Every structure is written in C-alpha cells, then in structure tokens.
Copies of this chain bind each other. A is one copy, B any other.
Amino acid sequence: MSAYIPDPVVKRLPMYYRYLKELERNNQMFISSTELAKLTGLTASQVRQDVNAFGGEGRQGCGYPVIEMRKYIGKLLGKTTVKKMVVVGMGNLGRAIVRYEAFFHDGYQTSAVFDCQSQKTGLKIGPLTVQHIRDLESVLAENPADIAVLTLPASAAQEMAERLYRCGIRGFWNFAPVDLHLPDDASVVNVHLDESLELLSYRLNQKKRIQP
C-alpha cells in the first residue's frame, strides 16, 4: 500500500472509485477488467495495468471484488478519515461549493466559511454562518481544518493561502485563476474554470476547421 503510484494512475483513482461505488450501489459483487474498461472508456489492458500499479487484486475467474477494491482505493485516497474544509470567499462560486451536497457524502465536512466583506458576515449558507476573515486565525486555532477552498479573486489568493498555511492548513483547493506558491509540504489542486472552458473552445475551433 505504500508503493509509489505514478501520477496518471493517481488521477484515475477517483474515477475508479466513482464507478466502483456505483457498482456497489447496484449490488454487483465482481467486475472484470473488460467491463471496467467499458465503463471507464479505457482499454482492458490499461485497466489491468492501473490496478497493478495501485496494488489492487483480482480473483482468478471472477474479476475484481467491487467492495474490497472500492475500500482499498478509498484508503489510498484518504477517505477513512473525515477531512475538514474551510471555504474562503463567499461569492457565487463559494456559496455553490458549500451547498454542493455531493461533497458531504463522502468524507468531507465544511467546518467554517469566510468572507472579507462585513455585510456578508452572519449570512447563513446552508448550515453554516459566514464569518469575517479577520477571525480566521482564532477560528482555525479552535477548530483546525485540513483543506482550504479558495474561491476568491486572483489578486487575493496568494496572500490568503500563506495565511491559511500559517494556520496549519496543508491542502488547498484553488479556484482562483492563479498558481499558488507554497512550501513543499502543502498540496495544491487547481480548478481553473477559465482554462477548462478555453480548452473546450480550442477543441471546438480545431474541429470546425477540419469539418467546415
């Protein structure tokens, strides 16, 4: 379980987890690499390589055991402990993320939400109350968190990330359209929505030129 897993395989783990969870819900006990390939859009050989790389095991003639493999991947993904999140920036995106219930199913819990605008302090977002960012340090000292969700303007993101780092946060889910620079023991995953939309735009553009 402690072996090195290549990054491209790691990036597919959540996808495998998602499909296995669905199979589990449908009470399917085993799945073959061929079936799993069909679901995921990969080839069967790719699936077997991936499973091999992350250390999963199949059973001769049965395929992969669904629940066991789902739990194993869940462990790799750190799903055995609930991760506490704080969300900084209560604009539309921040509020949507707090309300996006899918995140709460599966090992995440939003413990506090912050904004720098005084007029937002005290607003209710789902079960949480918006707190002023000036109280960040005291709130986190009392109730530490694992992950900070940054849904704030590009200009404010780096400084806020450093402040959160000093409060002990090591996971950064960054929606601000900048790349964060943080010490090596921090983990950052970016969701740059603008870049994602532009990638789609590029692909559309290319296909139009091929098939005018």
Question: What residues of chain A have their CB less than 8 Å away from a CB belonging to chain B?
Answer: 2, 10-11, 13-15, 17-18, 40-41, 76-79, 83, 92-93, 95-97, 99-100, 102-103, 106-108, 146-147, 170-173, 177, 179, 181, 185, 187-189, 191-205, 207-209, 211
Contacts and interface: CB of A to CB of B under 8 A. Distances in A.
B199 A11 contact: yes
B92 A201 contact: no
A187 B170 contact: no
Contact of A173 (B15, B191, B197): B197
A177 B18 contact: yes
Given A96-B93, A196-B189, A171 B2 contact: no
Nearest to A205: B78
B11 A103 contact: no
Contacts of A196: 14, 173, 189, 191
B92 A14 contact: no
Given A76-B202, A77-B205, A96-B92, A14 B195 contact: yes
Given A41-B179, A92-B99, A205-B76, A200 B189 contact: yes
Contact of A78 (B40, B95, B177, B202): B202
